Amino acid sequence: MRSRVNRRLLAGIAAASVAAIALAGCTGDIANEDSGDVDCAPYDSYGTFEGKSVTIGGTILDLEADRLQQAWKDFASCTGIKISYQGSSEFEAQIAVLAEGGNAPDIGIVPQPGLLARLAAGGWLIPASKGVEDNVDKWWSPDWKQYGSYDGTFYAAPLMASIKGYVWYSPSTFKDKGYEVPKTLDELKSLSEKIAATGEKPWCVGLESGEATGWPGTDWIEDFVLRQAGPDVYDQWVTHEIPFNDPQIVKAFDSVGEYLKNPDMVNGGIGDVSTQISEAFQTAGLPILDGTCTMHHQASFYETFWNPDGGDANTVAPDGTVWAFLLPPVNEDDPQAVTGGGEFPVAFRDAEEVEAVRTFLASDTWANNRVKLGGVISANKGVDSSNASSELLKQSIEILQDPNTTFRFDGSDLMPGAVGTDSFWKGIVAWVGGQSTQATVDAIESSWPTS
């Protein structure tokens, strides 16, 4: 998920013009700079393209956009390709319109397989070249390759990644109060009940995210479906081979409801159950810092929110201010199962320089360049986890690289937009607000497109 944080943080921000998205005024250019001080050996295999340009669009903004461009700077310098990047909060909403009108960027960094499928179905995407596919086959798992494919055709390699389902906590609080990190979902429930018995509300939760309000709740549901019902049922759920109101999905909702709908469990340091809907996801975990909340469920990217002033007062480490454990499995010996997100650079123009850029973005060189700059992880098998900017991100990379890990892409990102980014989000809000589980899943099921 950096895709998740980018997408949900951007929801509700004032719209950029279509012209801006179409790269009429680019905010980032990596020009043909003097490569005299650059070691070009890692880029020799890509060839040289003097005078060629490649435009890229996506949802990645601000510091993340700066780091994105820094990570391909040497590649651009050595190959002679001028790479122009334009980030926009309206990229997802407008990219299909731009593609249909012939105004799409050469490469679009899409944050959901569902959007990739929509663009491919529209006939606007260029299948990935052999170089891209060779890199994916070498550096990525088959699951990740499948997420960049549609109807049997491979279109895009993964870029970055995120791990969801972390439970953030204060190591000092756990030590002082004798709490142990739970190893199963039952132990997590017992720990939560133990804390609640003291009169404290163990969980702090924030579902507010502008137009995307509700999405943090979908992450809870997805984590429980994957752990309780298993990866096969998870796959059937997100592809609608079983209905959204299947009993196995109802079970996941009810299990999550034992936390999110329980006034004894939430909302520590913030208020009653209803405050989850108004509390911004960015600030929801902060009560852990003053001891008014014990646990917060959020993805690996939440690391950046522990120092909202941009400082370094709070450290993320096993002995730091905050740390995190993955939501545990049903049984202690169950395989490690995680949900997560990522982005996919799709191509709208068929050109050698475009494919050279995409081949580079699918390489271990690119992934290590970007991870070294901080704040992100990758599931690329060639990434050296020691390049990660924190212990948590190092751990996250190792989890993704572990062949025994069961990884599934964020479910709402795989579902049709009418469900994954609409009725599912809204359903979570209604459900936390008091609507029954059955009424909620029935309403979401009725919104699933018939074709």
- In contact, 361 and 157? CB cutoff 8 Å: yes
- Tell me how far apart the alpha carbons of residues 451 and 448 are, in angstroms, rounded to a whole number: 9
Let me know how many helices (H) and strands (E) the chain has, helices first: 21, 13
Q: Are strands 53-58 and 323-326 parallel, antiparallel or unpaired?
A: unpaired
pLDDT at residue 90, rounded to an integer = 81
Give the E-state strand segments of 220-353 in sequence order: 296-298, 323-326, 337-342, 344-347
- In contact, 221 and 246? CB cutoff 8 Å: no
- Tell me how far apart the alpha carbons of residues 111 and 319 are, in angstroms, rounded to a whole number: 34
* Selection from 319, 314, 299 nearest residue 393 by Cα: 299
Q: pLDDT-derived band of residue 425, with 50, 70 and 90 as boundaries?
A: very high
- In contact, 341 and 300? CB cutoff 8 Å: no
Q: pLDDT-derived band of residue 308, with 50, 70 and 90 as boundaries?
A: confident
The arithmetic mean of pLDDT across residues 323-348, rounded, is: 95
The arithmetic mean of pLDDT across residues 310-330, rounded, is: 92
Per the DSSP assignment, residues forming a β-bridge with 83 are: 30, 54
**Phi, psi (5° rounding) for residue 221?**
-60, -45
* Selection from 116, 113, 108 nearest residue 86 by Cα: 108
The arithmetic mean of pLDDT across residues 403-413, rounded, is: 90
CA distances from 313 to 316, 324, 383 (A): 10, 17, 29
The arithmetic mean of pLDDT across residues 424-441, rounded, is: 98
- Tell me how far apart the alpha carbons of residues 429 and 168 are, in angstroms, rounded to a whole number: 23
What's the mean pLDDT when you consider all of the chain? 90
- Tell me how far apart the alpha carbons of residues 96 and 40 are, in angstroms, rounded to a whole number: 36
pLDDT at residue 28, rounded to an integer = 53
In tens, the pLDDT along 168-192 reads 999 999 999 999 999 999 999 999 9
Please check the confidence at residue 30 and state whether its pLDDT lies above 60: no
CA distances from 187 to 183, 249, 337, 432 (A): 6, 21, 17, 24
**Phi, psi (5° rounding) for residue 182?**
-70, 145
User: To 5 degrees, how large is the angle CA 143–CA 184–CA 293?
Assistant: 100
Give the CATH fold of the 2-161+342-391 domain: D-Maltodextrin-Binding Protein; domain 2 (3.40.190)
Structure tokens at 369: 């360049």
Please check the confidence at residue 31 and state whether its pLDDT lies above 60: no
Q: Report the 10 Å Cβ neighbour count for 255.
A: 17
Q: What is the location of CATH 3.40.190.10 in the chain?
A: 2-161+342-391, 166-326+416-446
* Residue the block writes with tokens 């990645």: 60
pLDDT at residue 4, rounded to an integer = 39
- In contact, 76 and 29? CB cutoff 8 Å: no
Please check the confidence at residue 309 and state whether its pLDDT lies above 80: no
Per the DSSP assignment, residues forming a β-bridge with 266 are: 203
Give the E-state strand segments of 101-253 in sequence order: 107-110, 149-150, 153-154, 161-163, 166-169
Please check the confidence at residue 408 and state whether its pLDDT lies above 60: yes
Indicate the pTM of the whole model.
0.82
- Tell me how far apart the alpha carbons of residues 383 and 372 are, in angstroms, rounded to a whole number: 10
- In contact, 260 and 266? CB cutoff 8 Å: yes
Amino acid at residue number 178: G
What residues contact residue 440 under an 8 Å CB cut-off, 6+ apart?
A: 253, 427, 428, 430, 431
pLDDT at residue 36, rounded to an integer = 58
CA distances from 56 to 10, 60, 107, 108, 346 (A): 18, 11, 5, 6, 10
The region, left, alpha or beta by phi > 0 then psi within -120 to 50, assigned to residue 51 is: left
* Residue the block writes with tokens 């752990």: 227
Greater pLDDT, 311 or 324: 324
Please check the confidence at residue 16 and state whether its pLDDT lies above 80: no
Please check the confidence at residue 19 and state whether its pLDDT lies above 50: no
Per the DSSP assignment, residues forming a β-bridge with 296 are: 168
Q: Are strands 107-110 and 337-342 parallel, antiparallel or unpaired?
A: unpaired
CB-count exposure of residue 238 (10 Å: 0-12, 13-18, 19+) = buried
Please check the confidence at residue 33 and state whether its pLDDT lies above 80: no
Please check the confidence at residue 370 and state whether its pLDDT lies above 90: yes
Q: What percent of the chain has pLDDT over 90?
A: 77
- Tell me how far apart the alpha carbons of residues 331 and 337 are, in angstroms, rounded to a whole number: 12
What residues contact residue 205 under an 8 Å CB cut-off, 6+ apart?
A: 216, 260, 266, 267, 276, 279, 284, 296, 297
The arithmetic mean of pLDDT across residues 219-238, rounded, is: 97
* CATH pick for 166-326+416-446 out of 3.40.30.10, 3.40.50.300, 3.30.420.40, 3.40.190.10: 3.40.190.10
Per the DSSP assignment, residues forming a β-bridge with 85 are: 28, 56
